[in-house]
Amino acid sequence: MEIAAEIAEAIEALEEEAAVTLIRKALADGADPQALLAGGVEAGVRSVGQKFQDGDYFIAELMLGGDLAQQCVAILQPEIAKMSGAVRASKGRIVLGTVRGDVHNIGKDLVGLLLGVSGYEIHDLGVNVPTLDFVKKAEEVQADVLALSSLMTITMPAQGEAIKYLRDLGTRGKYKVIVGGAPTTQQWADEIGADGWARTAADAVPLVDRLMARV
């Protein structure tokens, strides 16, 4: 088996030591770090995401997979920079959080993990996040996407407030805004002027991919 495939397999199996050792060995043997990143780390992370969607892995495995991928990228990135002078670009920056008044975190965590392992840079603001904090962070990190979670009908209006605030501020066009959470619907997303709605955490990844393709 080629080394990239072995790295992918180690990441899929969440074998931290094996993955890191394999990467170091491959680099020492002169392997192309770009190929290790694409065929090893990214392929392994995709497998972890697939296993989650198939019900074989759970959120803890996603967290472990994400951490492991970050470790691997941290080893590869300086080598890639040496070769090409460039660093690995993320697919986009996402500011994520559960809106004010709502302390449910699990769905939001899942969205962050799945988008993270799919190559996006995640800025997770946590739960009970005031609208102004979303806006401030989005400006600070020059976000591409704002992802607003709400698990209760009583906190859903805060999703609409954030979109309206961006509109009134004149910065609505700078960001794609997506919403989600158990009581939300496509109809609600349309009503408040969101760019997208995802029924499940897994649906958020293709949604963001589609929105980013339009940027």
Residue closer to other proteins by CB (options 23, 158) is 158
Tokens of 56: 């074989």
Report the relative pairing of strands 196-198 and 145-149 from DSSP bridges: unpaired
Integer Cα distance of 211 and 21 in angstroms: 37
Rounded distance, CA 151 to CA 96, Å? 14
| Residues 52-71, interacting with other proteins (CB under 8 A) | 55, 58-60, 63-64
Q: Which CB atom, from 139 or from 161, has the smaller least distance to other proteins? A: 161
Residue placing its CB nearer to other proteins in the complex, 86 or 103: 103
What does each C-alpha distance from 89 to 80, 86, 197 come to in angstroms?
Answer: 11, 8, 26
CB nearer other proteins, residue 43 or residue 64: 64
Under the criterion CB under 8 A, does residue 212 sit at the interface with other proteins?
no
For tokens 């955490």, what's the residue?
201
Site for other proteins contains 206 (CB under 8 A): no
User: Rule CB under 8 A: is residue 111 a binding residue for other proteins?
Assistant: no
Rule CB under 8 A: choose which of 20, 32, 105, 174 binds other proteins: 105
- Is 83 one of the binding residues for other proteins (CB under 8 A)? no
CA gap 134, 140 in Å, rounded: 10
User: What residues does 196 pair with on adjacent strands?
Assistant: 178
Please give the Cα distance from 174 to 144 (Å, whole number): 7
Q: 116 to 145, contacts with other proteins by CB under 8 A?
A: 126-128
Q: Which of 154, 169, 186, 210 binds other proteins (CB under 8 A)?
A: 154
Which helix H or strand E contains 107, and what residues bound it? helix 106-117
> Which residues 171-190 are close enough to bind other proteins by CB under 8 A?
182-183
Residues binding other proteins (CB under 8 A): 55, 58-60, 63-64, 100-107, 109-110, 126-128, 152-155, 157-158, 182-183, 200
